[in-house]
Structure 1
Amino acid sequence: MEYITLNNGVKMPIVGTGTNTYGKVNNDYNGALTNEIPELESALELGYRSIDAAIMYRNEHLVGRVLAESTVPREELFITTKVPASEEYVSSKDATRAAIDNSLKNFQTDYLDLFLIHFPIENKEHLKNTWEVFEEYYEAGKLKAIGVSNFEKHHLDELKEFAKVKPAVNQIQINLKQPNKELLAICKEEGITPVAWGPMKAEDHQKEVLNEIGKAYNKTGAQVLLRYQIERGVVVIPKSHNPDNQRANLDLFDFELTTADVEKIENL
């Protein structure tokens, strides 16, 4: 595994696994919980150590149980979760504290590696209060890093007005369908690590080019796209329920793309 160093010195695996459909009937985001997460168990066995979760996914307690029961030491895990932007969680500082405390309980740990605001909080007072609570838990060592998700430039600018601790990451959609180039550049300029959700999305004609590129490396088009992402300093959190695909999504560290192939991908 390779790591990226966040702006506060914390090291984050550059590849992780999403969990938004884990432990749910028919692998459906809105499906009922099944109480079992074999996908996460196989991910851990294959070497995934960065686990991306969220309160909105409804399965924190299941993910937490699997992590707690695994043989992987806590210090090797990098656990990310997110607080929703809804009133229930951000209407007051106590509401946000309760959300963080509950996540700590769900993951059966006394600290989380990364805690994010899942979506922009449009009420500026609520945003300020929420971030101040994040900073409070960060200073106490209960959150090793804090950040945001789905924030556009104006959201980041608003946060800058009062934040004492700069967000470590901004988790946004970054893929060939939605390259988000301008926001990606802004994050890098600000020293905020971009984390890509949906990192492998591509149109059919783009997939054809990626597959063609992959032949020279004995890799799939999906692996080429993930490699392209991490080579430019983007953390990726692909998700699969299939152990073979999970294994492939980690098998990215034995090749490097040529300058010509990078240009082909950037021109797609």
Structure 2
Amino acid sequence: MTARKHLLVLLTLLTAACTAEQGGTPFAAPRISSPPSADLGPSTKVSAVVDGRTVELADGTRARISLLAEPSSCAAPAALEFATKTLLDKEVRVSSITPGEVSLVLQDGADYALLAVKNGVLRTTGVDGGPLIEAETKAAQAKLGLWAQDCATSTAPRPPASTSTTTTPPPPPPPPCVVVYRVTNEWPGAFQAQVTVRNVSGALVNGWTLRWRFTDGQTVAQMWNGTVSQAGGDVTVTNAGYNALIVVDGSVEIGFNGSVTGPNSVPGSFTLNGRTCTAG
């Protein structure tokens, strides 16, 4: 019995000594941290700006900034000026998207592509949604940068010079628009109609005026998605504040309630900003 008590006392003293040596707290297990993000490379400097979406870095690398579309010829000078002011001799951080393309982040954390789109300097390409599409939509609605310009996306080639003594006049340009006029409802003395205008000009339409002529004495009583005025049979509709922009191959739709006392013929022709449209 005495020997057992001595053994218990010895074990108790050894345990206390170990605990005191460790400060009374068991050692914590080592923590494994996640590897640092490798999205952005080290800081570098933009040594030259080639155009609105192409730069040369300090090491001589020339790269195109990803997700930005090539500007039209009339918007290119403004894009170059913006890129030069924003990037030239500035410190940036670079991440590679695809070979030959990069993403540039400025020292204040701003992404250059997003900044250019927000200011209406460039459009996006290869993007289905997200901040870039949202920024492009807001820039268009606010008529910033290129959205404020009447800038065609392409220029028709000149016809070759004729070698004969008689010259053939060039064919007229294709109609810039297609208009579909449809009576959607009729009742005695009144009717409802819908007019759809599609932009097929190949250029952005920023602000529009649509005209047509009624031949049966119809009058417009109430219109939506546009502002109407009428003098006799001549009807003039201008855009509302929210639908002034018609993108290439895009369309706007207006509708109205009208009054009529006899036949209700569809107007024979329409013009958009003074140019004759095709009836759809």
Instruction: Identify whether the pair has TM-score above 0.5, normalized to the shorter chain.
Output: no
Tell me which of the two structures has the higher relative contact order, counting C-alpha pairs closer than 8 angstroms and 6 or more residues apart: 1
- TM-score, normalised on structure 1? 0.22
Q: Which has more helix, going by share of residues? A: 1
- TM-score, normalised on structure 2? 0.21
Task: Say which one has the larger Rg.
Answer: 2
